[in-house]
């Protein structure tokens, strides 16, 4: 026998011993899978609590079955009642899609079975809160009108935004367009006004000075004339000289 054959035989022996040990371990620790009650320190079988739970469920089954049967019968009764009013609902549904030339009608919420709990709940949760609804075409037209109005408002808003932008540009100016803006222009005009005020102040000062000098000159002229008259009187009195005749 070759070495490899001997090796396989020994490997088979080792695996056999391991499997035998595992089988013995399972046998010695195997739990009780029966429904036998426990005796002494021995625990009851695994099926004992499952059987008790199953028996409890059997006791509740009758109550559950009665409740289901009652609900099922109520559902059948309501479905049967709905079938009786199908013609009325069909007529109301036709009102939603009238012909193109037909007059739009209001869909009534006064259903024949309106007092049933299901219908009352549906009416409360329906769009319109149970109020009369218009036909489908009416809502399509309303939607179109609202969309057109919204489009007009958006165009108007866009125009107003552009106008506001233009006015803002005129107010603050735009260096790229060479527009200094109204604010800068107002500042320039204020500077000009202040210059005019300052210049006016200078002119007022010059005018006052001129008037003062003119008054001084007039006073001096009066004094000179007075002195001349005195001199004329003196010459005429002392030397009998008429200054006026000499001057001619």
Closest CA to 97 of 131, 125, 137: 137
Predicted local confidence at residue 132, as pLDDT: 59
Examine the pLDDT at 248 and tell me if it is beyond 60: no
> Of the ranges 27-31, 99-103, 168-172, which one carries the lowest mean pLDDT score?
99-103
Examine the pLDDT at 157 and tell me if it is beyond 90: yes
Examine the pLDDT at 113 and tell me if it is beyond 60: no
| HEC readout, the chain | CCHHHHHHHHHHHHHHHHHHHHHHHHHHCCCCCCCCCCCCCCCCCCHHHHHHHHHHHHHHHHHHHHHHHHHHHHHHHHHHHHHHCHHHHHHHHHHHCCCCCCCCCEECCCCCCCCCHHHHHHHHHCCCCCCCEECHHHHHHHHHHHHHHHHHHHHHHHHHHHHHHHHHHHHHCECCCCECHHHHHHHHHHHHHHHHHHHHHHHHHHHHHHHHHHHHHHHHHHHHHHHHHHHHHHHHHHCCCCHHHHHC
Give me the mean pLDDT over the 112-125 stretch. 48
Confidence of residue 103 (pLDDT cuts 50, 70, 90): low
pTM tops 0.85, yes or no: no
CA distance 182 to 171: 5
Report the 10 Å Cβ neighbour count for 98.
Answer: 15
Examine the pLDDT at 151 and tell me if it is beyond 50: yes
Examine the pLDDT at 150 and tell me if it is beyond 90: yes
- What's the mean per-residue pLDDT of the chain? 76
Give 33's contacts (C-beta < 8 A, 6+ positions apart): 45, 46, 47
Task: For residue range 230-246, list pLDDT tens digits in order.
Answer: 777 777 777 666 666 65
Predicted local confidence at residue 117, as pLDDT: 46
Give me the mean pLDDT over the 97-123 stretch. 54
Predicted local confidence at residue 156, as pLDDT: 94
Task: For residue range 173-220, list pLDDT tens digits in order.
Answer: 777 767 777 778 788 888 888 877 777 777 777 787 888 888 888 888
Examine the pLDDT at 122 and tell me if it is beyond 60: no
Task: For residue range 31-61, list pLDDT tens digits in order.
Answer: 666 767 767 666 677 777 888 888 888 888 8
Examine the pLDDT at 118 and tell me if it is beyond 50: no
């Amino acid at each position: 026998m070759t070495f490899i054959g001997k090796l396989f035989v020994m490997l088979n022996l080792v695996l056999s011993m391991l499997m035998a040990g595992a089988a013995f371990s399972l046998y010695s620790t195997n739990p009780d899978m029966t429904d036998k009650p426990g005796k002494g320190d021995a625990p009851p079988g695994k099926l004992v609590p499952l059987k008790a739970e199953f028996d409890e469920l059997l006791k509740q089954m009758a109550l559950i079955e009665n409740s289901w049967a009652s609900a099922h019968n109520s559902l059948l009764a309501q479905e049967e009642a709905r079938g009786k009013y199908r013609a009325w609902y069909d007529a109301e549904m036709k009102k939603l899609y009238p012909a193109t030339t037909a007059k739009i009608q209001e869909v009534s919420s006064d259903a024949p079975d309106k007092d049933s709990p299901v219908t009352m709940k549906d009416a409360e949760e329906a769009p319109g809160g149970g109020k009369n609804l218009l036909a489908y075409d009416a809502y399509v037209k309303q939607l179109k009108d609202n969309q057109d109005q919204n489009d007009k408002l958006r165009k108007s808003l866009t125009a107003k935004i552009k106008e506001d932008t233009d006015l803002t540009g005129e107010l603050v100016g735009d260096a790229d367009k060479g527009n200094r803006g109204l604010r800068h222009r107002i500042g320039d005009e204020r500077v000009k006004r202040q210059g005019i005020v300052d210049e006016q102040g200078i002119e007022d000062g010059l005018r006052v000075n001129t008037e003062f000098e003119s008054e001084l000159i007039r006073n001096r002229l009066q004094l000179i004339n007075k002195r001349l008259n005195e001199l004329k009187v003196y010459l005429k009195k002392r030397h009998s000289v008429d200054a006026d005749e000499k001057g001619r």
